[in-house]
Amino acid sequence: MEKVAVIMAGGQGRRFWPVSRKNKPKQFLSITGDNRSMLQNTVERLNGIVPEENIYVVTNACYREMVESQLPGISCDNIICEPVGRNTAPCIALALNVVRKRFDDAVMIVLPSDHVVKNTGLFTDTLSELVEAAGTAAGLFTIGIRPNYPETGYGYIKYIPEDKTDMYKVERFVEKPDAERALKYLHEGNYLWNSGMFVWRTSVLYDEYSKYAQDILETVEKYYKADNLLERDEIFASARAESVDVAILEKSDKIYTVIGDFGWDDAGSFAALKRIGITDDGGNYLEGNVIADRCTGCVIKGGDRLIAASGVKDLIIVDADDTLLVCPVSEHDSIKALINSIESNNMERYL
């Protein structure tokens, strides 16, 4: 059976503003200092699992040229463009439609484009295990990450513990919890972080869409059948904007998970840089021309312009040429609200 991979690369990475901008969002940037974009690293991790000609990228239409530039080995026919973002359920349905037309049935891997994996070897082993399982069983498979702190920014997977198995039946998906509930999940031991990485056969996924998200399937089919480009854009914009978790996974009884232990991080905000990067003796992540005197727990990121910080703690300081961001590390999620304020003040040029 053919193996294909679908990489979702249409987001704007707003929690990484002002480094991530509308004209070049997070997935097209290098945030780990290896001079390779997150998208390029995601494709590279598929080496030995999926042939390059079977890798598809779903992105916003305005990012097509950037994808082509960063991934010259990916066929232009394999770049699937959304006219507008409508969350992951329509995004995956777009790719599902294309793959089903090209292959009778296939094992489909779905990955976000902007995550960090420290141990590629273990990642390959885990993903290969799921590919093998999906090829023989009518299930929807995901990778869960064992939590090591009470994170409120991730969804969770509650699984049913069983002896002598590495594959677990999923009892339910859980939306992002508050701090008290996240701590409870950590102590109970049978909750995992939802990594947003999935493996399934296209035939199985199509059946689940037909049961639980028929409207999204129909919208996508109308989109591909429309001849007029303006009409196509309007059709896709009418699709129900919902995550695949809510549209399919929370309803299906065919969900299974394995536990991934390969140094995963969703790199969702600047606070993540302290986890995935190198920190100094004061627990500071420093990047660029930075001098930090008596600072602790800070994330300071810049370029050529000197950033000098003295005696501060737990701050995010990001210099992006025309914009300077300063906020407490504990308030990293407030960047989205800050962006809303910038938009309401007609300052979109900074976004």
- CATH code for the domain in which residue 175 is found: 3.90.550.10
Q: Over range 313-335, report the average pLDDT.
A: 94
- Domain match, 112 and 96 both: yes
- Domain match, 248 and 285 both: no
The Cα 348–Cα 342 span in angstroms is 7
The residue range of the domain holding 326 is 273-350
Q: What is the share, in percent, of the chain residues with pLDDT greater than 70?
A: 99
Picking from 230, 247, 265, the residue at the C-terminal end of a domain is 265
What's the pLDDT score for residue 73? 97
- Domain match, 243 and 319 both: no
Token readout for 71 is 């991934």
What's the pLDDT score for residue 275? 93
Q: How confident is residue 42, by pLDDT bands cut at 50, 70 and 90?
A: very high
What are the backbone dihedrals phi and psi of residue 85, each rounded to the nearest 5 degrees, phi first? -75, 130
Q: Count how many domains the chain has.
A: 2
Q: At what angle do helices 202-212 and 214-225 cross, to 10 degrees?
A: 110
Picking from 237, 265, 293, the residue at the C-terminal end of a domain is 265
Q: Over range 239-260, report the average pLDDT.
A: 96
Among 39-43, 258-262, 329-333, where is mean pLDDT lowest?
329-333
Distances (CA, A) of 335 to 18, 154, 177, 317: 9, 17, 19, 12
Picking from 232, 265, 298, the residue at the C-terminal end of a domain is 265
What's the pLDDT score for residue 162? 81
Q: Is the pLDDT of residue 336 over 90?
A: no
Q: Is the pTM of this model over 0.85?
A: yes
- Domain match, 70 and 213 both: yes
What's the pLDDT score for residue 326? 97
Using a 10 angstrom Cβ sphere, with 0-12 exposed, 13-18 middle and 19 or more buried, the burial of residue 211 is exposed
What's the pLDDT score for residue 138? 95
- Domain match, 27 and 158 both: yes
How does pLDDT run across 82-119, given as a tens digit for each residue?
999 999 999 999 999 999 999 989 999 999 999 999 99
- Domain match, 328 and 195 both: no
Q: Over range 169-181, report the average pLDDT.
A: 92
- Domain match, 288 and 343 both: yes
